[in-house]
Chains A and B, each alone.
Chain A
Amino acid sequence: MTDTPTTRHIPDRLNSRAVRIFKSWEALLLAVAIAIFVVNSFASPYFLNVWNLSDATFNFTEKAMIAFAMALLIISGEIDLSVASIIALASTAMGLAMQHGAGTPELVAIGLTVGLLCGAFNGFFVTILGLPSIVVTIGTMSLFRGVSYIILGDDSFRGYPSSFAWFGQGYIYWVFTVEMLLFVIIAIIYAVLLHKSNFGRAIYAIGNNPTGALFSGIRVQRVKFILFLLTGLMSGVAAVCLTSRLGSTRPSIASGMELEVITMVVLGGVNILGGSGTIPGVVIAAFVMGLVTFGLGLLNVPGIVMSIFIGLLLIGVIALPRLWAMAAARRKA
């Protein structure tokens, strides 16, 4: 996190719109996604089966829901490492409610409420007490999952009502799952929120210069608090989907998911230091990650080896453009 002052090159005219789109991160990512798709369909005969592809979307839909909210949070210059733990706590709360005879609507309401409350808890520490979000959410990451462990210990909740399974296992039409529909709706909502609303402009302003944003009349802390609420709420939605899909709750549910969510956001071209990034980028990154894990899965690559790819992807997508720029600079000099 060194901020060495560099001279800024300001061009006297911008590239045309078409060139900018062609040269954008999203275009590069889309090319990667298509390449992976093609390679996969040659590597395994089972890849180009609509039902398999439909199943494969579960690899990313839940993570992507959180990633949209996380993208906004990271653009504003904060981070939330506790999302996977919020899922654990929300799922545990739903399990407890289920044991006391709650029906499907109540379960969903409880899952979303717990998510919101966890987000509010993070937001309180970061925006009202003014503490760094990375430490706060490392703390709540232990705390939220810790509460799940206190409630469940070695145990697990199972036996959710059959109507509850609709969220994670249901189909809307043919191969299109309920989760896919949720994914699309949430993606559109967040794209509009970030790219077409005042609130979205405020997020960019805060990420680029919080003090400047404050002096231009943006309520910085309130915007950040809302972003923590949204991240919590999305974790609640993901908790409903994941619990419904698995049909059981363990305290270790979704462990390590925060890493994959952040990888997805960074892969989507969001600057981890805040200030830039787009929702379409995150959508394509979700597909890239989903295709990579699905393709490797078909080739019988174990999950932990897949995580090597995710780790390399995370570092590689940031390192390669910088290496490229360094090589270009050297050639010029």
Chain B
Amino acid sequence: MMRFIPVRETILGSAILLLIILITSRFPGFVAPSNLANVFNDTAPLMILALGQMVVILTRCIDLSVAANLALTGMVVAMINVAMPGLPIPMIITIAILMGAFMGVINGVLVWKLSIPPIVVTLGTMTIFRGIIFLISDGKWVNSHEMSPAFTAFPRAVFLGLPVLSWIAIFIVIIFAVMMSRTQFGRSIFAVGGNPHAAVYTGINVGKTQFWAFVVSGALAGLTGYLWVARYAVAYVDIAGGFELEVVAACVIGGISIAGGIGSVGGAVLGAIFLGVVKNALPVVNISPFWQLAISGSAILIAVAFNAKSGRTKDRIILKSAEAKQ
């Protein structure tokens, strides 16, 4: 029976509930449905990116270029919109996803074909993508009055009580839940991260799986790029600066092991929601927003320490004294 209740997600879920109760005790309005919907909508981009990052981390890689990818795609679609205001939104979304996926392909090829460590590749592409934004935009901003009304209205349009942005996040969560548990690709991601050697012997191409993980992460970053720029109605070089760390933080807090192979869609979503609740609660309970960086840093450390402790399996110890010394 116990194995059907995911322990980690339950604990994290309870922590979020406790946090919300604590906030409500000082500010009852926080649990009003409209406010909770706001918090959810605010967290949607983080949630989408955390799912992409989860896939990458599960295959023992890391993608630090997601925020730069988001910003570059956002800038490009914004400039396309300024140049061609008549271009329909589905077209824009397709361009955004393809562009993001292409940047994922670059990361993926470097990791797969040249076996360069993912952290080096994505640190590099992160700065390159940011630099390209400056090159194509000349450091200028694309402001809301330059964008077409349809472009900015799409993510904010309300449908069945929730903005489209929230619905997209929900839709992606469902797709990922199915993909990770019911498809060959999803299972091979776990296999690659859990034991690459064994994965090779079961006929899984490790490098190729990692490549596709980067493409998925890139495509989601591209999609989020459009949603982000349209929602905030502005595009410039530094949008979502440092957001990659928040995305990794959401994954780590959600119990996704940086060593690969362990993690769940529920964990990534809850990790993102945890950070979203903290971010939205700070101004409500009168704490300076400058605390947020330190809080998410502490949350990462606590989560990783906690997960390592609960996930440690008892191995057979051959040399007790040597083990104790280490």
User: How many angstroms from the CA of A314 to the CA of B125 in the assembled complex?
Assistant: 9
Which of the four size classes fits the interface of chain B?
Answer: 35 or more
Given contacts A1-B118, A219-B325, A302-B134, contact A146 B291 (CB under 8 A): yes
Shortest Cβ distance from residue B203 to the other chain A in the assembled complex, whole angstroms: 15
Would you call B308 and A130 a contact (CB within 8 A)?
Answer: yes
User: How many angstroms from the CA of A220 to the CA of B325 in the assembled complex?
Assistant: 9
Would you call B110 and A129 a contact (CB within 8 A)?
Answer: no
Given contacts A150-B294, A214-B322, A314-B120, contact A139 B130 (CB under 8 A): no
Check if A102 is an interface residue, CB within 8 A of chain B.
Answer: no
Would you call A308 and B116 a contact (CB within 8 A)?
Answer: no
Check if A14 is an interface residue, CB within 8 A of chain B.
Answer: no
Would you call B131 and A138 a contact (CB within 8 A)?
Answer: no
Given contacts A135-B304, A153-B288, A215-B322, contact A307 B293 (CB under 8 A): no
A187-226 vs B: 1/0 string, CB under 8 Å?
A: 0000000000000000000000000001100011100000
Shortest Cβ distance from residue B126 to the other chain A in the assembled complex, whole angstroms: 7
Check if B53 is an interface residue, CB within 8 A of chain A.
Answer: no
**Residues on the A chain within 8 Å of B120, using CB:** 262, 266, 272, 314-315, 318
User: How many angstroms from the CA of A192 to the CA of B177 in the assembled complex?
Assistant: 54
CB proximity to A under 8 Å, residues B236-268: 237, 245, 248-249, 252, 258-259
Would you call A150 and B115 a contact (CB within 8 A)?
Answer: no
B126-149 vs A: 1/0 string, CB under 8 Å?
A: 111011101100010000000000
Would you call B127 and A143 a contact (CB within 8 A)?
Answer: no
Check if A273 is an interface residue, CB within 8 A of chain B.
Answer: yes
Would you call A143 and B294 a contact (CB within 8 A)?
Answer: yes
Question: Which of B117, B118, B131 counts the most A-chain CB atoms under 10 A from its CB?
Answer: B131
**Residues on the B chain within 8 Å of A214, using CB:** 322, 325-326
The stretch that binds A, out of B180-188, B218-226, B295-303, is B295-303
Check if A23 is an interface residue, CB within 8 A of chain B.
Answer: no
Would you call A311 and B126 a contact (CB within 8 A)?
Answer: yes
Would you call A139 and B304 a contact (CB within 8 A)?
Answer: yes
Q: Which residue of A lies closest to B115 (CB)?
A: A2
Would you call A146 and B115 a contact (CB within 8 A)?
Answer: no
Check if A319 is an interface residue, CB within 8 A of chain B.
Answer: yes
**Chain A residues engaging chain B, CB cutoff 8 angstroms:** 1-4, 79, 125, 129-132, 134-136, 138-147, 149-150, 153, 214-215, 219-221, 251, 259, 262-263, 266, 272-273, 302, 304-305, 307-308, 310-312, 314-315, 318-319, 322-323, 326
29 contacts between A and B (CB under 8 A): A1-B60, A1-B117, A4-B115, A4-B206, A130-B308, A131-B305, A132-B258, A135-B304, A138-B248, A140-B297, A140-B301, A141-B245, A142-B245, A142-B249, A146-B292, A149-B291, A149-B293, A149-B294, A150-B288, A272-B117, A302-B139, A304-B134, A311-B123, A312-B124, A314-B124, A315-B121, A315-B125, A318-B114, A326-B114
**Chain B residues engaging chain A, CB cutoff 8 angstroms:** 60-62, 110, 114-121, 123-128, 130-132, 134-135, 139, 196, 200, 206-207, 210, 237, 245, 248-249, 252, 258-259, 288, 290-298, 300-301, 304-305, 308, 322, 325-326
Give the 9 A-B residue pairs with the shortest CB-CB distance, closest first.
Answer: A146-B294, A143-B297, A142-B297, A308-B131, A146-B293, A139-B300, A311-B127, A311-B128, A315-B124
